[in-house]
Structure 1
Amino acid sequence: MEPTTESRRRPARRLRAVAVGGLVLATLALAGAATLGLGGRDGRQPAAARTAPAATAPVTRQTLTRSVTLAGQLSYGAPVPLTSLATGTVTWLPKVGTTVRRGEALLRSDEQPVVLLYGELPMYRPLTADLRGADVQQFERNLAALGYRGFNVDDSFSASTTTAVKRWQKDLGLPETGTVDRTQVIYAAGAVRVAQRLVPVGASATGAVLAYTGGTRVVTVSAGAGDTSWAKNGTKVTITLPTGASVAGRVTVVAAPTAATGAQGPADAERPGTGNAEVQVTIAVADQRKLGRLTDSPVDVRYVAQQRRNVLTVPVDALLALAEGGYGVEVTGPGGTRIVPVRAGLFADGRVEVQGDGLTEGLLVGVPE
């Protein structure tokens, strides 16, 4: 990584100042020698001594990290429409902001509950005695999680399953048929938070009646498809809240690239991740308590772009642009000062990784005042 224009300019001035100072000293020495009639027969003059730098800083050994900050949004995630198969009339809907958990009603159709259960498979057929399949096992797993016993959780809808279903239906106030109708259950990955009522009470119960999100807050980051090499499942990030507090996050979902919509407006060079975006990155926050009462708020997301462990570093301003090319630092000590050529590595937080012959931790190098 190359230093900024500003970081190049200042060391270059220091280098010129050292050269000019040497020229002045040499000129004065020559003039003094001529006046006093000193100097060797071959006309050579003694070399001018290098003056100490105006200020110094120590060479340190540390872990150098370059971080990148992106614009993010804290929310409950994008709302998802919830589709009901019930054929009656909506007689009750939960309030916006309500969290609905396993076994609780998402709505009531003709005063009968449509219940939330957890699972990936949709309720694609009625479940009744002697059926077998993954959907049977998914339902039985939920029934057991709700506290019903007396059956085996497997892929078989047995007579004991029928008995347990009747107890469940009785507790819900449903007809005790022992058969689970498609209209009685809606599956989701977990607890849901009601984001919006899509129909009023009194409307048809068939179709999209609610929009919901997950029950926990997440952070989303939008970025160009070429700017997401950092975003992999499990990548750790630091989230800075509007309050100034920080909380740990972890990448959980990286969506497929989509066409840029421009919804975020023009890009901000100071905050990558603003402007037209093509990839949506979702970040989980394990400690929800640290988010306080924030529910819909802009945040900053910081990730580690590069890291160099246990390296020697100096302030960027300590670098000198050498006339023969490359960089050097002005090392100073009891024996005077000397220019040591260095190889520059990672630049971060005002410091730069350096390697050079004889360069060790604790040496003092010249810096501008």
Structure 2
Amino acid sequence: MAWTGAAALLAAAVGAAAVGFGGDSAGTAVTGRTPPATAQVTRTTLTATKTVDGTLGYGDTVTVAAKSQGTITWLPAEGSTVTRGHAVYSVDADRRPLLYGTMPLYRELRDGVEGKDVELLERNLDKLGYDGFDVDDTFTWATAEAVEDWQDDLGLDVTGTVQPGDVVVADGRIRVAELRKALGDTASGPVLDATGTTREVSVALDVADEHLVAKGRPATVELPDGATVKGKVTAVGTVATETTSGTDTATTVEVKVSVSGLKKSYDAAPVEVTIVSERRDNVLAVPVGALLALAEGGYGVQVVQGTATRYTAVEVGLFADGKVEVEGVTEGATVAVPK
């Protein structure tokens, strides 16, 4: 991991020789040769970043299990995407379609049943183009008719009812990561492993750096071939995990970063993620090398005015991009940059 912020830059500044004002905090003008290197106090935007290692993939894996008896007669290809209403797998030549939702079906849905699972079914039927019923939490005769039409279109037995094993429920479209069954296997237990379809990076972030990241902050992801894509922090874990490698022990939290504009298809790849940890807009800044450690404490800069110079105390803020935010000097002033 590489930190481009205050720690390393401040060490460089402290390494400068201590200078004392000897009284007036504004410093005293001293006539002498112009310093060999100077820079102007500029108004700019500073961005501090944190670079960490990550793994590009499709997020967490979930297992899809069959809940009915029979024989597996069709399976999707690994790497394929399944969307609402399409088959995730088939048992005895009957498709098991995908429905979107967060609540698994746990009982037979039929006329007279009420609950959130009914609403999930009706919402999916509505999205698939079936109508004649209200999308609510009550399974009515109108819902049964829509279910019959749906079953007929799928080539299933027309019953007007739905059993838990008749469908697969996921919170959105899924990508088939790995098949756990083969054609001809019995249709019970794990059938396949699936992920979401959105590319994301998982980062094991040291807990000491957790304060540097937050949901919504921008990031840049560097791929194995050197190309970069834009990203955004989507989640910062709340559970710390301790891992040991040899004699080293690290305590980390998982950070997830979504990516966009990814043209090359990597199922999984090691990447470097640069996360914006802090940003300061419209601030005055000088090169970090212009800072001097003051004998009185704190920091100052050597302001150049013609052939004279004076030392001025400054308040420092964000360190980033080889510069440091300062207060106490005017925009456009010239400062010495000791070598």
TM-score by length of structure 1 reads 0.80
Displacement of 1:283 in angstroms is 2.1
1:200 to 182, 195, 202: 182
Q: Distance in 2 between matches of 1:312 and 1:154?
A: 58
Corresponding letter in the other structure for 1:192 = I
Contact 1:57 1:364 in 2 (8 A): yes
* Structure 1: tracts of 5 or more residues without a match: 17-46, 268-274
Pairing of 1:39-58 with structure 2 (within 5 A): 49-58=31-40
Distance 1:168 1:266, change over 3 A: farther
Equivalence for 1:113: 95
Distance 2:220 2:313 in 1: 37
Q: Which structure has the greater CA radius of gyration?
A: 1
The offset of 1:106, in angstroms, is: 1.1
Indicate the residue corresponding to 1:360 in structure 2. 330
Q: Is the 8 A contact 2:31 2:307 kept in 1?
A: no
Change in 2 beyond 3 A, CA 1:52/1:157: same
For residues 343 and 201 of structure 1, what CA distance do their matches in structure 2 show? Answer: 71
Instruction: State the shift of 1:189 in Å.
Output: 0.3
Query: Secondary structure in 2 aligned to 1:165?
Result: helix
Does the aligned pair in 2 maintain the 1:225–1:257 contact within 8 Å?
Answer: no
What stretches of structure 1 move > 6 A for 4+ residues in a row?
A: none
Instruction: For 2:265, give the aligned amino acid.
Output: R
Counterpart Cα distance in 2 of 1:232 and 1:81: 30
1:352–1:191 Cα change, 3 Å? same
Residue in structure 1 matching 2:14, options 5, 8, 31: 8
Deviates more, 1:289-298 or 1:122-131: 289-298
For residues 279 and 327 of structure 1, do their structure 2 counterparts lie closer, same or farther at Cα, with a shift above 3 Å needed? closer
Deviations 1:202-228 (A, max 9, x none): 222111110000012111111233432
By relative contact order (CA 8 Å, sep 6+), the higher-ranking structure is 2
* SS at 1:302 equivalent: strand
Pair 306,232 (structure 1): closer, same or farther in 2 beyond 3 Å:
closer
Q: Is the contact between residue 129 and residue 158 of structure 1 (CA under 8 Å) also seen in structure 2?
A: yes
**Distance in 1 between residues matched to 2:197 and 2:215, nearest whole Å:** 21
Q: Does 1:102 align with 2:84?
A: yes
* Sequence identity percentage: 45
CA drift at 1:330:
1.9
1:327 maps to 2:327: no
138-147 or 289-298, larger mean C-alpha shift? 289-298
Whole-angstrom CA distance in 2 between matches of 1:139 and 1:74: 34
Q: Is the 8 A contact 2:69 2:187 kept in 1?
A: yes
SS at match of 2:309: strand
Aligned to 1:307: 279
Structure 1: distance between partners of 2:243 and 2:11: 34
- The residue that corresponds to 1:298 in the other structure is 270
**CA RMSD, Structure 1 to Structure 2 (Å):** 2.6
1:1-369 → structure 2 map (5 Å cutoff) = 3-9=9-15, 11-12=16-17, 49-262=31-244, 276-285=250-259, 287=260, 289-334=261-306, 336-356=308-328, 359-368=329-338
Counterpart of 2:23 in structure 1 is none
1:282 partner letter: K
Query: Contact 1:119/1:190 (CA < 8 Å) preserved in 2?
Result: yes
> Structure 1, residues 39-63: CA drift from partner, whole Å, max 9, x if none?
xxxxxxxx98422211211111222
CA drift of 1:148 comes to 1.3
Match of 1:44 in 2: none
Task: Quote the offset at 1:328 in angstroms.
Answer: 2.5
SS at match of 1:290: coil
8 Å contact from structure 1 (residues 313, 354) kept in 2 = yes
Give per-residue Cα distances to partners, 1:88-144, cap 9 Å, x unaligned. 111221111011111111111111111111111111011111212111111011111
Query: Structure 1 residues 111 and 177 mapped into 2: Cα distance closer, same or farther (>3 Å)?
Result: same
C-alpha change, 1:348 and 1:235, in structure 2 (3 Å) is closer
Q: For residues 248 and 176 of structure 1, do their structure 2 counterparts lie closer, same or farther at Cα, with a shift above 3 Å needed?
A: same
Find the residue that maps to 2:175 and give its secondary structure. strand
C-alpha spacing 1:144/1:5, structure 2 compared with 1 (3 Å):
closer
How far is the alpha carbon of 1:7 from its aligned partner? 3.5
- Quick one: structure 1 residues 52 and 239, their matched pair in 2 at CA, closer, same or farther if it must change by over 3 Å? same
Aligned counterpart, 1:22: none
Contact 1:266 1:276 in 2 (8 A): no
